[in-house]
Chains A and B, each alone.
Chain A
Amino acid sequence: MLCQKCHRNPATVKYAEVVDGTVVHQDLCAECLETYQRDASSAFSLGEAKPGIRPPGGAPRQAPEGRGPARTCPSCGDALARVLDAATAGCPACYRHFGAEIESVLEGLHRGMRHRGKTPRVDDGRARLHAQLQHKRTLLRSVLGLEDYEQAALIRDEIKGLEAALRNSGRELD
């Protein structure tokens, strides 16, 4: 889990404070905990770290493999750390691959977590073609990364075919 304050570093500390008689818990990284402690006034009570949780001075906990900020989006290759740092996603698939991390950023930025506005008018046939195109383009990027140019040429042809089908379906709509 990422720090709930900076959304960048792995959370290594469970932090608790009492607000109006209610205990509020937060998962923080060591850096943010230090900031909290530095800024704490006399009226600000710092809860004890829970047993089993690494103290702030200790070595940072290793993020599980494939779960830390070094992770990249398999669709666009964007790194999670960059996405969180810049608060920009690299592609629509980033929202799926980095779901929990991106949502923790969205929580800080927005009033709610459920879209309450207009939705697009979707044509099923075209949606299917778009989904296939998305899949093929992701595949093309992976294949090019592996320098398999023969396979890449085949996928490129398939993409061209799908794009032509998409164009034709657009004309039918007109």
Chain B
Amino acid sequence: MPVTTLLKTPPPWADSGDDADWAVVGCHCTLARNFSDFVFPARCNEGELCAVASRVRTAVEGALAGLTAAPPASDAVETAAFAERWLVTDAWPALPERARTLHLSPAQDLAVSANTGDHLLLRAALPGNRLEDAWARASQADDALSALLNYACDDRLGFLTARLDMTGTGLRAGALLHLPALAARDALGGLARDLAAHRLALLPAAPGNPPEHGGALRAGGGHLCLTAAEIEPLPAQCLLSTEDGARTAAAPAAGDLYVLHNTDALGVPEEELVLRVGHAARQAAGLEEQARNVLARDRERLEDRIARAVALARGARLLGFREGLVLLSTLRLGRALDLVSGPAPGRMARALAETQAAHLCLMRGAERTALSVAAARARYFQELLTE
């Protein structure tokens, strides 16, 4: 099966069936596990990485019958597509080809990969706030694998992980939140502080691959342009994932997307971590709902903002990734408040995945240049609004 076939199924976190809970785009439970007889991947040589990958492959094939090996990626863009779907973390594409391994469930809601930070990473991702379901899925697969693999585990400290903030359960439970109204009302600082007191992080999602992320490229320009499109370099036109969820930064969130996750993993059982994150996601969604109602009182300004976004999405010939996220955020807010017709919020979450660089190259035949991808993105938005 070629990678392009895999892309026809939307990533599970971006395939929301329940549009009622609009603020929570998707959730994940990620478990990090290591083998006791290998050093962690950052210290492994290539031979050791290959041996780890081989062991993971054998164990998954022996223990998890429902999972199949992901199709081999023929080039860097196909490899990046896996990262853009959050099936693997941002470290995976950089691994030597023989050291990579990825197994997926048919719906792509369960993924097992090797050698990213830890020897084995198991991720269950689902749309909306279904963290308990995601945990059940991840835990079941973990049980099956642990019968075949000798995990590095200490009687007192639990599972030993490369990151010290994951030692213990090795679990990151997280959610991707869309909080445009709270962001507009500048109310996220307080919420983040409240959550931090409960050892939860709420951080802005950041596009791109920072090591290669240069300045934006201004397309067009000249006196006749009102505003030129800000086109990022190709590697920055995506939203990659880490163990915590989407990559984050201190900068303002791209498209009002925020990553919520637990920051501790030792001394607390997995179920409690999952409940805590799920509860916080519901709390944030409730506050977002209230903030939307307050925003809706200033209807004229809000309608203007949304109409401008619609006009830009319909008329732009080039769209940068960050600009696209801002448009999606505004359109989604407009749809949530019934101020604009068009695709449902779940469909817009899918657009978030499909307007990333590798997806546009593979699904819509864009050339592998920043401008060509920006043009394909603009066409994607035009089609989205006519659906």
Chain A residues in contact with chain B, CB under 8 A? 75-78, 87-92, 95, 102, 105-106, 109-123, 126-127, 129-131, 133-134, 137, 163, 167, 170, 173-174
Taking a contact as CB atoms under 8 Å apart, the answer to whether B37 and A87 are in contact is no
Taking a contact as CB atoms under 8 Å apart, the answer to whether B150 and A115 are in contact is no
Give B160-195 interface residues, CB cut-off 8 Å to A.
Answer: 160-165, 167-169, 171
Least Cβ distance of B321 to chain A in Å?
Answer: 29
User: Chain A: interface secondary structure?
Assistant: loop
- In the bound assembly, the distance between CA atoms of A113 and B162 in angstroms comes to 17
- In the bound assembly, the distance between CA atoms of A170 and B55 in angstroms comes to 10
Give B96-110 interface residues, CB cut-off 8 Å to A.
Answer: none
The 8 Å CB contact of A117, one of B62, B147, B199, B269, is B269
Q: Which of B20-28, B203-211, B260-268, B335-343 makes up part of the contact surface?
A: B260-268
- CB contacts (< 8 Å) of B369 on chain A: these are none
Taking a contact as CB atoms under 8 Å apart, the answer to whether B157 and A118 are in contact is no
Listed A/B pairs (23) with beta-carbon separation below 8 Å: A75-B39, A76-B43, A89-B162, A90-B39, A92-B40, A95-B154, A102-B164, A109-B263, A109-B264, A110-B264, A111-B268, A113-B156, A113-B157, A116-B269, A117-B268, A119-B158, A123-B147, A123-B150, A131-B37, A134-B36, A137-B37, A170-B59, A170-B62
Q: A89-B40, A113-B266 are in contact. Are A174 and B62 (CB under 8 A)?
A: yes
A-B pairs with beta carbons under 8 A, tally: 140
- CB contacts (< 8 Å) of B35 on chain A: these are 130
The 8 Å CB contact of B164, one of A88, A118, A123, is A88
Give B11-70 interface residues, CB cut-off 8 Å to A.
Answer: 34-40, 42-43, 48, 51, 58-59, 62
B153 within 8 A of A: yes
- CB contacts (< 8 Å) of B151 on chain A: these are 120
- CB contacts (< 8 Å) of A134 on chain B: these are 36-38
Least Cβ distance of A45 to chain B in Å?
Answer: 26
Taking a contact as CB atoms under 8 Å apart, the answer to whether A95 and B157 are in contact is yes
Taking a contact as CB atoms under 8 Å apart, the answer to whether B148 and A170 are in contact is yes
The 8 Å CB contact of B42, one of A88, A121, A122, A126, is A88
Least Cβ distance of B207 to chain A in Å?
Answer: 24
- CB contacts (< 8 Å) of A77 on chain B: these are 43
- In the bound assembly, the distance between CA atoms of A163 and B47 in angstroms comes to 14
Among the interface residues A106, A112, A117, which one has the most CB atoms of the partner chain B within 10 A? A117
B385 within 8 A of A: no
- CB contacts (< 8 Å) of B372 on chain A: these are none
Least Cβ distance of B336 to chain A in Å?
Answer: 35
The 8 Å CB contact of B157, one of A88, A115, A167, is A115
- CB contacts (< 8 Å) of A109 on chain B: these are 164-165, 167, 263-264, 266
Question: When A and B form their complex, which 6 residue pairs have the shortest distance between CB atoms, in order from nearest?
Answer: A112-B267, A115-B158, A91-B39, A134-B37, A92-B152, A110-B266
A107 to B, closest residue via Cβ: B266
Least Cβ distance of B361 to chain A in Å?
Answer: 33
- CB contacts (< 8 Å) of A167 on chain B: these are 58
- In the bound assembly, the distance between CA atoms of A137 and B44 in angstroms comes to 11
- In the bound assembly, the distance between CA atoms of A130 and B35 in angstroms comes to 8
- In the bound assembly, the distance between CA atoms of A130 and B153 in angstroms comes to 12
- In the bound assembly, the distance between CA atoms of A130 and B59 in angstroms comes to 15
The 8 Å CB contact of A106, one of B51, B142, B157, is B157
- CB contacts (< 8 Å) of B62 on chain A: these are 170, 173-174
The 8 Å CB contact of A127, one of B150, B160, B167, B270, is B150
B9 within 8 A of A: no
Least Cβ distance of B285 to chain A in Å?
Answer: 25
